[in-house]
Each structure stands twice: as C-alpha cells, then as structure tokens.
C-alpha cells in the first residue's frame, strides 16, 4: 500500500482493513457480513456496544456524558449545536480560527445573532487566540471553537475555559483521538469520522447529560441529541458498517497502539520531524507560529509555485499520495493522522530533501 497523506477521508490502519477484510463475508461464523445485519440484532448491538465501551476507555469519558453515533458529518453539527442549545435563549459565542470555524458560525447565524468571543484574524490566522483574548457576551449560551483547523494547519494548544453556566463546544473533527483530552472541560465534542475515527458517513458526538434537553422547538427529530440519546443512536438505521469499522479502529488504538498517551507521543514525533525538515530548509515554508502548529495537518509551500505540479507528480511516483493543499489555499499539505505511520513521514522527508536538491 502507498503512504496516504489525505486530509479526509484519510488513511486507515492497514491491520484494521485486514481484519475487516477477513470478516467481510462471514462475521465470526454467523455466515453473513456486518453490512447485512439488522442494526437491532444481538450481533450488531454487541458490536456497537463494544465500540462505545472502547471509546469510553480511550477518552476516559465520564458516566454523565452520552456518546452518539450519528450521520450527516461535522457539517450537520454546525447546525445541530445551535438548534440543540438555544432553546432557552442566549447568544451563541464563537472563536474564529479559519475556514471550519467560519462554516460553523455561518450555520449558527440562521438561528440567532452571534458574538465573536475571540478571533485569530489579528494574527492573520497564524496563531489561535489565547484564553486571555476571550470576551464572552453577557448572555452566552455556549462557546464554540475548532480545536484543529484542518485547512490552515492551526491548532489550539489549550482547552479554553468558560464559566460553569457556559458550555464549551468543540469541533474536534481533525484531532480527536490524537492525544488524551479532558472530556469534563467540555459540554459537547463532535467530529466527523473520516480522519481519526473510521470511514466517512459516521459522526461522533460526546455530550454532557444536562445539555440534552435545550433544543429549539423547530429542531427536526433526527437532529435532536435527546432523541438520539434515548434511542442509543438507533432512532433510524445507523451507518452500521462505518460504526463497526470505527470499533475496529478503537480496538487498534487501545490494544495495538496502547492508548492515547502512546498515540500522542508518536504523533508529536511525526509532526516535530516534519516541521523541523521544513524549518531547516530554505525551500519549504510553513506560516503558522510554532506553538500553534497542527500536529495532524502540516501545510507547506515550495519556494516556487511553478514546481507544485512536478512535486505532486514525483511524490505520487514515490508512493506518497494526496499531498496537494486544500483548493482554497494551494501549496502542499501533509495530513499525518493516527493511521499514518512514522515511516511514511520519514519517507516524505527523504523525498522532500531529494526534491529540493534537484530543484532548489
């Protein structure tokens, strides 16, 4: 298999795919595929419960938080968060940090006037605001931020703090499960699955119990966290195969990797060596201030944009795929999620050095 640096859908651990392949036609001697099982069957319910149990262990999720396995991607959460949290009024508060935060803010605007509590614009999106920059509105219903801006390659190194009555809501789509996180600091965490969780089509929501009952009247049934929680995420037919695969990924993280502490060390090492390769070269650049650089998505520019196509073609030839930057920013981006092995980063660095020698 090639080394895949795609931002999403992203690489999955090879051992997970091999296990899924081995079980594809006949899951544990039942004579059928997980894809063909009723979501209400004992078999699938056990798969679903095991996935949740492993996730709870990995993230140390306290008992007063529900885990929801939903659909619609993180983009649907942009609407679901205000729909589910504005039932008692108040002003949604947002931290602006880039393209994904902006999309979340655009959805919230449909339901209420919003307040920008802090903005990374001051630094031209090269640094996240810090805790001291945050100014909540007096009637804040919640504070939303994006822990990792997948396109900009900008991350929040700290979990922001809010007063007790203001739940913290976080879009963790592109860095969930990359390191341990203190769930208790959050009201809601959500993430599209297609980076560190599993295949696209599944969306994870972790929500504190007391926030389940604050939805606006207009909230569609399928978008109500309460309905999803009361029905164990099976109000309708869930994306069963994606849920099963996510379960295999959780199992891999827990039992093959050894948990999120170990995963975080590996991720730090991968990111550090790639940034170092960029910083020690005159040919490659990354604009983000070091303290705020993403551990998962590493954007970089070549000294000459005219070489971009050559770089991508040569990289592909060398078995290094999907290094093109997001269409809105250009340049390159290496997404080095959990399933991208350190050997892939080593191979990329070797390739970058060689390309620089040939073209600088």
User: Could you give the string, one character per residue 59-98, with x where binding to ligand PLP holds by CB under 6 A and - elsewhere?
Assistant: --------------xxx-----------------------
Tell me the site size for ligand PLP, rule CB under 6 A. Answer: 11
Task: Figure out which of the listed residues 146, 162, 196, 214 binds ligand PLP, where binding follows CB under 6 A.
Answer: 146
Query: Minimum distance between the CB of residue 356 and ligand PLP, rounded to whole angstroms?
Result: 29
Q: In the complex with ligand PLP, which residue's Cβ is closer, 156 or 352?
A: 156
Please state the closest distance from residue 231 (CB atom) to ligand PLP, in A: 22
- Contact predicate 151/143, CB 8 Å: no
**Phi, psi for residue 302 in degrees, rounded to 5:** -90, 160
User: Minimum CB separation from ligand PLP for residue 72, in Å?
Assistant: 7
Q: Which two tokens stand for residue 196?
A: 């560190």
Ligand-binding site membership of 1 (annotated):
no
Among 154, 168, 144, CA closest to 94: 144
Residue 52 or 149 with smaller CB distance to ligand PLP: 149
CB of 100 to ligand PLP, least distance (A): 4
Nearer to ligand PLP, 74 or 127 (CB): 74
Q: Is the Cβ of residue 10 or residue 85 nearer to ligand PLP in the bound state?
A: 10
Name the residue nearer to ligand PLP (CB basis): 82 or 90. 82
Pairing of strands 297-302, 284-285: antiparallel
Which are the contacts of 133, defined by CB distance < 8 A and separation ≥ 6? 118
Q: Applying CB under 6 A, does 171 fall inside the site for ligand PLP?
A: yes
Enumerate residues 6+ apart whose C-beta is below 8 A from 310: 359
Closest C-alpha among 206, 248, 162, 273 to residue 70? 206
146 annotated binding-site participant = no
Span from 33-41, 112-120, 156-164, 166-174 in contact with ligand PLP (CB under 6 A): 166-174
DSSP string, 47-93: HHHHHHHHHHHHHT--TTEEEEEE-SHHHHHHHHHHHHH-TT--EEE
Tell me the residue ranges of DSSP E strands in the chain. 3-4, 65-70, 91-96, 115-119, 140-146, 148-149, 154-155, 168-171, 188-192, 203-208, 284-285, 297-302, 320-321, 332-335
How far apart (Å, rounded) are the C-alpha atoms in residues 333 and 326? 7
- For residue 320, what are the contacts with CB-CB under 8 A and spacing of at least 6? 2, 3, 5, 344, 347, 348, 351
Query: Nearer to ligand PLP by C-beta: 90 or 98?
Result: 98
Dist CA 203 CA 37 (whole Å): 20
Nearer CB in complex with ligand PLP: 78/252: 78
Positions marked catalytic: 100, 171, 195
The reply to whether 171 sits in an annotated binding site is: yes
Q: Residues 246-285: x/- map of binding to ligand PLP (CB under 6 A)?
A: ----------------------------------------
Tell me the closest approach of the beta carbon of residue 187 to ligand PLP, in angstroms. 17
Options 150, 240, 322, 324; binder of ligand PLP; rule CB under 6 A: 150
Q: Judged by CB under 6 A, does residue 52 bind ligand PLP? A: no
**Residue 194 annotated as part of some ligand binding site:** yes
The answer to the question of whether 40 is labelled as a binding residue is yes
Does 150 belong to an annotated binding site? yes
Closest listed residue to residue 305, CA positions, set 330, 338, 328, 280: 330
Instruction: Tell me the C-alpha distance between 135 and 115, whole Å.
Output: 9
Q: Which of 45, 2, 103, 4 is nearest to 334 (CA)?
A: 4
Residue 48 near residue 38 (C-beta atoms within 8 A) = no
**Interacting residue with ligand PLP among 4, 93, 162, 174 (CB under 6 A):** 174
| 152 near ligand PLP (CB under 6 A) | no
Which residue numbers belong to the known binding site for L-glutamate? 40
Which residue numbers belong to the known binding site for pyridoxal 5'-phosphate? 74-75, 100, 150, 171, 194, 236-237
Residue numbers at the binding site for ligand PLP (CB under 6 A):
8, 73-75, 100, 146, 150, 171, 173-174, 192
Which residue numbers belong to the known binding site? 40, 74-75, 100, 150, 171, 194, 236-237
């Amino acid at each position: 298999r090639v080394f895949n640096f795609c931002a999403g859908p992203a690489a999955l651990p090879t051992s997970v795919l091999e296990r899924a392949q081995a079980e594809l036609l006949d899951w544990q001697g039942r004579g059928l595929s997980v894809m063909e099982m009723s979501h209400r069957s004992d078999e699938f319910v056990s798969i679903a419960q095991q996935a949740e149990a492993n996730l709870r262990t990995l993230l140390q999720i306290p008992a007063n938080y529900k885990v929801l396995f939903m659909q619609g991607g993180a983009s649907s959460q942009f609407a679901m968060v205000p729909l589910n949290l504005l039932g008692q009024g108040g002003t949604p508060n947002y931290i602006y940090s880039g393209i994904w935060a902006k999309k979340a803010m655009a959805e919230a605007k449909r339901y209420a006037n919003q307040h920008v509590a802090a903005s990374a614009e001051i630094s031209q999106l090269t640094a996240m605001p810090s805790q001291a920059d945050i100014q909540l509105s007096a009637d804040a219903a919640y504070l939303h931020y994006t822990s990792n801006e997948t396109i900009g390659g900008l991350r929040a190194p700290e979990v922001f703090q809010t007063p007790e009555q203001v739940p913290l809501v976080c879009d963790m789509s592109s860095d969930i499960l990359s390191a341990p996180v203190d769930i208790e600091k959050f009201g809601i965490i959500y993430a599209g699955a297609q980076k560190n969780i599993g295949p696209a089509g599944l969306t994870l929501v972790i929500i504190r119990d007391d926030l389940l009952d604050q939805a606006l009247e207009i909230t569609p049934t399928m978008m109500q966290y309460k309905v999803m929680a009361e029905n164990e995420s099976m109000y309708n037919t869930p994306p069963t195969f994606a849920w099963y695969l996510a379960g295999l990924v959780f199992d891999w993280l827990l039992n093959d990797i050894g948990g999120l502490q170990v995963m975080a060390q590996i991720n730090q090492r991968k990111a550090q060596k790639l940034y170092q390769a960029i910083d020690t070269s005159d040919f490659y650049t990354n604009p983000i201030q070091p303290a705020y650089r993403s551990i998962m998505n590493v954007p970089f520019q070549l000294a000459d944009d005219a070489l971009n196509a050559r770089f991508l073609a040569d990289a592909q030839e060398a078995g290094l795929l999907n290094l093109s930057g997001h269409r809105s920013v250009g340049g390159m981006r290496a997404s080095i999620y959990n399933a991208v092995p350190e050997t892939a980063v080593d191979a990329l660095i070797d390739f970058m050095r060689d390309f620089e020698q040939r073209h600088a």
